[in-house]
Amino acid sequence: MTADIAETGVAGEELKQFIERIERLEEEKKALSDDIREVYAELKGRGFDSKVVRQIVRIRKQDHAERKEMEAILDLYMQALNMA
């Protein structure tokens, strides 16, 4: 690596290792994304609404207090628009 830096001013081997790690992780991410897409297709095939399930997954990621605050604001806005 020292010779690499001396010749080019850049640690080429180290850079290459970082890039290869990123590429492997991108491949894993794509595989996981494909798996998730298949699960959504399966649940849709079983009669579930995938949009609603996606929303539930997003809500479950939120902190309880954050979710309650969002629900209160949503309720307030819906009342203001006579939608409640």
pLDDT digits 0-9 by tens, 7-16: 766 788 899 9
Identify whether residues 28 and 17 lie together within a single domain: yes
How many whole angstroms separate alpha carbon 55 and alpha carbon 61?
Answer: 10
Residue 2's pLDDT is 64
Query: Residue range 53-61: average pLDDT?
Result: 95
> Which of the two residues, 8 and 66, has the higher pLDDT score?
66
Number of domains in the chain: 2
> Which tokens is 71 given?
């629900």
The pLDDT score that the predictor gives to residue 84 is 77
**Cα–Cα distance, 43 to 54 (Å, whole number):** 11
Domain span at residue 6?
A: 1-48
Residue 54 shares a structural domain with residue 84: yes
Find the mean pLDDT for residues 19-48.
98
61 and 84 fall within a common domain: yes
78 and 59 in one domain? Answer: yes
pLDDT of residue 10: 73
Q: Compute the distance between CA of residue 52 and CA of residue 58 in angstroms, rounded to an integer.
A: 10
